[in-house]
Amino acid sequence: MVKSLSLAVLATLFAFISFAQSQFDSLFQPQNVKAIMEKVANWQLKEWETNGVKFTKTNWTNAACYTGLQALSTISSNNSYENTLLKFGNDLQWNIGARHFHADDYCIGQTYTQLYMKYKDEKMIAAFKLVADTIVGQPHTESLEWKPGIVDREWAWCDALFMAPTALGYLSTATNQPKYLNIATKLWWKTTDYLYDSSAHLYSRDGSYLNKKEKNGEKVFWSRGNGWVLAGLVRVLDNMPKHHQDRKRFISLYKNMSAKIASLQQEDGTWHASLLDPASYPIKETSGTGFFTYALLWGINHKILDKKTYLPVVQKSWKALTECVQSNGMLGYVQPIGAAPDKVDENTTAVYGVGAFLLAGTELYKYYHKGSK
């Protein structure tokens, strides 16, 4: 009797474990990865159609979302994602934002340039190229000390490393002109020399945070801020020839940051708003998590990061991200616009969080679609 009962319990437990494993495995089937990406993207397109585009169409928030929509368009048969980007570009006459030297206002150059590489329509990059030429010609000798107006002249905050060098890198690839990538790398290291903590392997958000501490006494290292950096880093590497003189230095930075970020993943699979004081913000956050997942998967796909070490990390984080997608497709737990760790909940969402989710999903789809095990 006891033996029979024990066998029944074991059989039930085994069945439960098998079911849970099959559910976990199904998350990573390419068609399921793409399906939930499309669900999130479709919610965003409907939101724009119903309530309009919040902020200007050139705004960095929207531009970050466009990067994800563009990535999704490369693996989806649904033309609405690319058509939306083409429409927005035409609506804007392919102009960037009004503040030509502000990194946020030429983040959209990433999408313009990627569309140009497909359609070869010069008008898509003409305005951005003029600004990029002016950026190349500037001396860039000003201190990055956080002061009024500095953001209009220099990359003085870590978010800028997703917005600006990436756009210049894609333009360099599209035009086969190294000068754009060269200025991007030069200014990348200028920002890094000022904001990167080589012991923590993390970036402060800007100069005003260099000496700020969290409640537990640790330095303030913001999740999404470092997500911007790591995602920006791989997008620069995507446009950096293997023989480029700075490539090894970028790879070293990428590996060091990736190892640190992986070590800070929380039990729930995400990275909380404060990387070194997660207990002060004890809830999942999806924008930083999305960018980290994207960047780590990129490294796996390009055989720069060890698959055995990092695949379990991104599997865990993708599962957590999908659990934050509501039934209507809205991605929740996205920290609102800010410059430091802050609170979130299931109903906080933002377009840049969608962009990060779609970038991550595209890399995950590529990994499993090519048959890797």
- For the chain, list the domains and their CATH numbers: 31-367 (1.50.10.10)
State how far the Cα of 294 lies from the Cα of 290, in Å rounded to an integer: 6
- What pLDDT was estimated at residue 25? 84
- What pLDDT was estimated at residue 370? 75
Helix (H, G, I), strand (E, B) or coil at 325: strand
Range 270-285 burial, b when 16+ CB lie within 10 A, else e: bbbbbbbbbeebebbb
The percent of residues above 90 in pLDDT, for the chain, comes to 92
Which runs of consecutive H residues, i.e. helices, occur in the chain? Answer: 2-26, 30-51, 60-73, 80-91, 109-119, 126-137, 160-175, 178-195, 223-237, 247-263, 286-301, 307-323, 351-369
Mean pLDDT of 135-144: 97
Interacting residues of 77 by C-beta distance below 8 A, sequence separation 6+: none
Residue 15 has pLDDT above 50, yes or no: no
* Amino acid letter for position 145: E
From residue 189, alpha-carbon distances to 84, 137, 156, 165, 254 in Å are 35, 18, 11, 11, 13
Mean pLDDT of 61-72: 98
Mean pLDDT of 23-45: 94
State how far the Cα of 291 lies from the Cα of 269, in Å rounded to an integer: 13
Catalytic residue among 25, 105, 133, 159, which? 159
Interacting residues of 373 by C-beta distance below 8 A, sequence separation 6+: none
* Amino acid letter for position 130: L
- What pLDDT was estimated at residue 360? 98
- What pLDDT was estimated at residue 241? 97
The single residue listed with the structure tokens 């708003």 is 273
268 is catalytic: no
- What pLDDT was estimated at residue 16? 46
**pLDDT grade for 19, boundaries at 50, 70 and 90:** very low
Residue 354 has pLDDT above 60, yes or no: yes
**pLDDT grade for 12, boundaries at 50, 70 and 90:** low
Q: Give residue-wise pLDDT tens across range 227-276.
A: 999 999 999 999 999 999 999 999 999 999 999 999 999 999 999 999 99
Phi, psi of 197 (to 5 degrees): -95, 105
